[in-house]
């Protein structure tokens, strides 16, 4: 990649960063009463945690989706297509079904966050890691595995909800829909710690993504311990998805949108730039979308609905136009 192209991508990244800052400023200061210090502080107290959660969620999903696509070597696959969201719903349904909606596991957000971080990465790493190795990273088999696992997890979850008390189910529904409301500041701190630990532990593996994108044979010839690196990166992906999903709930297709917009916008194979662009796209989409949900639709429609609809259309577009299957 020549210097002119690198400078052009740097300018594009700066433009994206400016867009994110404008979205963040609009979200924080739109319809705020600047004339009253008390009302201003109250508005900032409500909006600041939401903004931080949106930034963390965008970073976690964007990085995980980009890494996952590189491991699978296909741009139309994201963790949400492999049953991660269904697994999250199953875990929360099982907690309410077994322990009840009044139990400590269901009412304590910190404990629920810890359970998600413990169960989702373990189940996903064991199941997906084994099946990916058996499927030899064939994208068609992987999509089929994801469809089967999603159906399997959803069937168990549906069976539990049918037996569950209706009042218990009503309380469960709040956790199964993505939302940036009622954010727990302690969860934010825990999420930042987990993400920082993942980045620190996997920093050397992340630096090898440009080589891993060449394929297993080329990466091995260049001295990369491919299998070990992929296993570690897969664990990091599941941890990042678990953090984002545990904070706001399942959001389908957002990773697909972030990663592919970044690839089309920059047209580069440098993963540092792609991950940054993907993160910035995600931040702009989430902040702008939440601003529309709050100010235009007055919370009548959650942001996950918009992302799911437009993400599904974008996914079909990629399926029809992408020749690399």
- Are the C-beta atoms of residues 281 and 62 closer than 8 Å to each other? yes
DSSP codes of every residue in 149-166: HHHHHHHHHHHHHHHS-H
Query: pLDDT tens digits for 295-305?
Result: 888 777 778 77
Looking up tokens 């949400």 gives 80
Quick: pLDDT tens for 245-268: 888 878 878 888 899 999 989 888
For residues 317 and 300, give the distance between their C-alpha atoms in angstroms, rounded to a whole number: 28
Instruction: Supply 220's token pair.
Output: 């091995």
Alpha-carbon distance 135 to 130, whole Å?
A: 9
pLDDT digits (tens, 9 = 90+) for 182-226: 666 678 888 899 899 999 999 999 989 989 888 888 888 888 888
Sequence-ordered list of residues with C-beta below 8 angstroms from that of 119, at least 6 positions apart, any chain:
91
Cα separations (Å) of 32 from 26, 35, 88, 284? 10, 9, 36, 20
Closest CA relative to residue 92, chosen from 39, 164, 22, 195:
164
CB 128 within 8 A of CB 150: no
Judge contact between 309 and 46, C-beta under 8 A: no
Q: Dihedral sign, CA of 133, 138, 142, 148?
A: negative
For residues 117, 120, 121, 126, the Cα torsion angle rounded to the nearest 10 degrees is 150
Lowest mean per-residue pLDDT among 3-17, 46-60, 95-109, 248-262: 95-109
Q: Is residue 222 within 8 Å of 211, Cβ to Cβ?
A: yes
The number of C-alpha atoms within 13 Å of 251 and in the hemisphere containing its C-beta is 34
* Tally of residues, the chain: 325
Q: How far apart are CA 157 and CA 272, in angstroms?
A: 38
Among 253, 207, 257, 252, residue whose Cα is nearest residue 232:
207
3-321: which CATH number, 3.90.1170.50, 3.30.70.920, 1.20.1300.10, 1.10.3470.10? 1.10.3470.10
Q: Which of 7-11, 117-121, 175-179, 314-318 has the lowest mean pLDDT?
A: 175-179
Q: Which range, 124-128, 208-212, 235-239, 303-307, is most confident? A: 208-212
Say if CB 238 and CB 125 are below 8 A apart: yes
Whether the pLDDT of residue 161 is over 50: the answer is: yes
């Amino acid at each position: 990649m020549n210097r002119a192209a690198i400078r052009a991508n740097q300018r594009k990244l700066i433009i994206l960063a400016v867009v994110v800052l404008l979205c963040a400023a609009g979200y924080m200061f739109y319809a705020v009463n600047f004339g009253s210090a008390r009302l201003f502080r109250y508005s900032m107290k409500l909006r600041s945690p939401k903004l931080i959660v949106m930034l963390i969620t965008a970073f976690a999903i964007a990085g995980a989706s980009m890494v996952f696509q590189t491991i699978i070597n296909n741009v139309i696959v994201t963790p949400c297509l492999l049953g991660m969201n269904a697994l999250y719903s199953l875990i929360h349904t099982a907690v309410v079904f077994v322990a009840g909606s009044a139990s400590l596991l269901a009412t304590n957000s910190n404990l629920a966050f810890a359970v998600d971080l413990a169960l989702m990465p373990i189940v996903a790493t064991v199941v997906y890691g084994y099946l990916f190795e058996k499927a030899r990273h064939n994208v068609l088999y992987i999509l089929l595995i994801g469809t089967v696992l999603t159906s399997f997890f959803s069937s168990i979850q549906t069976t539990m909800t049918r037996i569950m008390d209706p009042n218990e189910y009503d309380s469960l529904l709040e956790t199964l829909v993505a939302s940036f409301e009622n954010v727990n500041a302690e969860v934010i701190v825990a999420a930042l710690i987990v993400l920082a630990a993942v980045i620190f532990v996997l920093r050397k593996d992340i630096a090898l993504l440009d080589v891993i994108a060449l394929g297993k044979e080329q990466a091995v010839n260049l001295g990369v311990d491919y299998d070990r690196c992929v296993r570690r990166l897969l664990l990091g992906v599941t941890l990042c998805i678990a953090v984002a999903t545990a904070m706001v709930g399942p959001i389908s297709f957002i990773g697909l949108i972030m990663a592919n917009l970044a690839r089309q916008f920059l047209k580069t194979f440098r993963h540092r730039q792609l991950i940054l662009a993907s993160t910035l796209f995600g931040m702009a989409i989430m902040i702008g979308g939440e601003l529309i949900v709050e100010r235009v639709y007055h919370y009548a429609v959650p942001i996950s609905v918009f992302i799911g609809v437009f993400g599904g259309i974008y996914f079909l577009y990629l399926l029809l136009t992408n020749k690399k299957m």
